[in-house]
Amino acid sequence: MAERIKGVRDFIGREAILREETIKSIRDSYEIFGFEPLETPAIEYLSLFTDKSGEEIENQLYSFSDKKGEKLALRPEHTVSKLRVVSGDKSIVKPFKAYSIGNVWRYEDTSKGRYREFVQADIDVYGSGSIRYDAEVIGCIDFAFKKLGLSEYKIHINNRKVLQSLLADLGIGALDGIKVMREMDKIDKIGLESVLKQLESLLNTTQLSKMKDYLTGKFSPESSGQNEINELLEYLKDYGITNAVVDNALVRGIAYYDGNIFEFIHEADPFKGTIAGGGRYDTLSQKFDLEMPIVGAAIGFDRVVEILKTRPFEDYVNKYCVVNIDSMDKAMEIGQRLRNKGLSVDILLDKVSLSKALDYCNSKKIRYAVIVGSKDLQSGEITIRDLKQKKDSKVREDQL
């Protein structure tokens, strides 16, 4: 039997349907908020990621050389590919609100429950530094989650300028600052006391005490980032958002963000953790020789699907199956007529017994069987069997 490669998955049946329905719901939410689709290729030049995100990212990439020796990579995210497009197309009117939904690939350690191929569903706003757009991005993600029926989450907010001011107050240089933030980022996994223990090798006693005061909310450095957080919280009221909290420990992508940052954290077992996140990353555009403010976010699609899978499925879906008893030509005619009305219609193209046809419909959870038989046709009728309600009804063919 042919084996599947490590770190990827197959989807079939109801799980595949759930994934497609979830993508459609997210896409609809993005478009309701005025975001436009932006599609990029799965394959890019390797240098696009190593030049813009740093050479260390190459260890996380699926990279290879093509037959001409060009070094290529599968995209590990949408952010850099989208910025390549936006930076190169001068016809784009700003602010430009774009979304991308599609597969990305990273060479992850699968033993940690991660996958090497997964879906990202991103939105970004290019060309405006207004904090109102930070709120718009958060409001859109919140709308998408509510549309999916998710509610057990809080929106954690911080600002990288606050973190930079903190490091400056503590007298910590750039390289050590990155190490400190990486340790801070582990609080939700290992807890405050364990993080402070880890920081003992990086901070002196005074610095460590001040860091503890910051992480427990007893101290905040003076920073323009505090004003940006307050401004964002005020704008979020326009979206009816009341579950946003300031989280001093929130760090997020150290290489990207430079303003407000945020995460949607699901609080209910067994799926506690981040289900979406983003922030402002104005300085990344400089790597494309631009000075362009940007804010964006991505939904953790696969984690969201896992939450949705715990909910009961609808027993039957409102689909139709045309069953040929005596006349394939008539079955085809009726099936095509229903399809032209925009209904989802399967047609059994093989001649099978009614019992086998109904077994087929039940196995697919198709709710309605349209039974085309000669006796009904003689009286100008069609039998519709509702497999969920287990009852038949007669419908005149000219009223079908």
pLDDT, tens only, 70-86:
999 999 999 999 999 99
**Region 56-65: what's the mean pLDDT?**
84
Q: Indicate whether 345 pLDDT > 80.
A: yes
**pLDDT-derived band of residue 117, with 50, 70 and 90 as boundaries?**
very high
Chain mean pLDDT for the chain: 91
Q: Which structure tokens are listed for 188?
A: 């939700």
pLDDT, tens only, 254-308:
778 999 999 999 998 788 889 999 999 999 999 898 999 999 999 999 999 999 9
Alpha-carbon distance of 95 to 93, in angstroms, equals: 6
pLDDT, tens only, 349-379:
988 899 999 999 999 889 999 998 888 888 8
**pLDDT-derived band of residue 112, with 50, 70 and 90 as boundaries?**
low
Q: Domain coordinates of the chain in residue numbers?
A: 13-40+75-163+222-309, 317-399
Look at the block and give the residue holding tokens 């040929």: 324
For residue 205, what is the DSSP state? Answer: H
Q: Using alpha carbons, select from 297, 292, 294 the residue that is nearest to residue 263.
A: 297
The phi and psi torsions of 352 (rounded to 5 degrees) equal -130, 165
**Region 323-347: what's the mean pLDDT?**
91
Q: Which structure tokens are listed for 159?
A: 């600002």
Prediction pTM value: 0.88
What class has domain 317-399? alpha beta
The pLDDT, as a whole number, for residue 55 is: 58
**Region 42-59: what's the mean pLDDT?**
81
> Which range has the worst mean pLDDT, 30-39, 139-148, 166-175, 258-267?
166-175
**Region 173-199: what's the mean pLDDT?**
85
More confident residue, 59 or 388: 388
pLDDT, tens only, 233-257:
999 999 999 999 999 989 888 778 9
* Domain 13-40+75-163+222-309, architecture per CATH: 2-Layer Sandwich (3.30)
Other beta carbons within 10 Å of 199: 18
Q: Indicate whether 45 pLDDT > 80.
A: yes
**Region 331-349: what's the mean pLDDT?**
93
The pLDDT, as a whole number, for residue 98 is: 98
Q: b/e map of 232-250 (b: 16 or more CB within 10 Å)?
A: bbebbeeeebeebebbbbb
The pLDDT, as a whole number, for residue 261 is: 97
> Which range has the worst mean pLDDT, 32-46, 230-244, 310-324?
310-324
More confident residue, 171 or 236: 236
**pLDDT-derived band of residue 54, with 50, 70 and 90 as boundaries?**
low
